[in-house]
Each structure stands twice: as C-alpha cells, then as structure tokens.
Structure 1
Amino acid sequence: MRAPVPGGGERRGGILSYPLKALYEEVAFIAYHFHWPPESVMNLEHADRRRWVSEISVINQRVNEGTAT
C-alpha cells in the first residue's frame, strides 16, 4: 500500500539512505572546523549536521570577504 506524501506524490516504502560520500564530507567539514571527534559528528541528527555545515560556511564566507565580526 502506498501512503500519500505531503505536496503530492506517493511514498513507496523502504529506507532512503543519505549518500555516503556526502555524509563523510559533512563529518570531515565539521570535525575539521570545530575539532570535534568524527564519532560525535556522525551521531548528530541529519538536520543538525546540515545546520552546522551551513553555519560554518557562513563564517568562512565572512572571513574570506574580510567582514568577520
């Protein structure tokens, strides 16, 4: 049985996995910048990990533009 998905479409069941390459890139990025052990970063929820990646990227952009505060 297929369940409706918000916004249209159908859910076909099963588990979709996050691409392993992207996961390792995020873990390396956060671990490098925050000096957190990779295991700690891996244990973050996906949304939290993506948020940290985004925040670090904003900081890096400001530093590169010379507008860090």
Structure 2
Amino acid sequence: MFSGGVVGYPSEQMHEEVACIAYYFHWSLTDILDLEHQSRRRWVTEISKIKQ
C-alpha cells in the first residue's frame, strides 16, 4: 500500500548541481546545500554561461 509523502529532489540532479558549484566557485558542501533550490539552479545556469 502506498503511504504517500513528499517526493524528494532527484538525487542525481542534486549531486550534479553541487559538483558544478563546488568545482567552479570552490564553495563548501554546507554552503551549497544551504542554498534554496531555485538559487542553486540559478548559480548552475550562470556557471553554464561562463563555461561557453
């Protein structure tokens, strides 16, 4: 029986975001994980622009 609950953020995507930000900005894991999801995605988008 399905018990319901909150669907979590995809683990693979979270790891990719953390790795990207940590690699380019050298921020700590704690600092990155403290970011709101939208903020973390925004930083990844900005890094993608830099890489081009």
Quick check: TM above 0.5? yes
| Structure 1 unpaired stretches of 5+ | 1-12, 62-69
| Structure 2 unpaired stretches of 5+ | none
Within-5 A mapping of 1:47-66 = 47-61=38-52
Higher relative contact order (CA 8 A, sep 6+): 2
> What is the number of equivalent residue pairs in this alignment?
49
* Poorly superposed stretches of 4+, deviation over 2 Å: none
> 1:14, CA displacement in angstroms?
3.1
Q: Which has the larger radius of gyration?
A: 1
Distance in 2 (CA, whole Å) between partners of 1:18 and 1:41 is: 15
> 1:38, CA displacement in angstroms?
1.2
Matched residue, 2:7: 16
Flag the structure with higher helix content.
2
TM-score of the two chains, using structure 1 as the length reference? 0.66
State percent identity of aligned pairs: 55
1:29-63 superposed Cα distances (whole Å, 9 cap, x missing partner): 001100100111011000000000000000111xx
Code of the residue aligned with 2:26 in structure 1: it is H
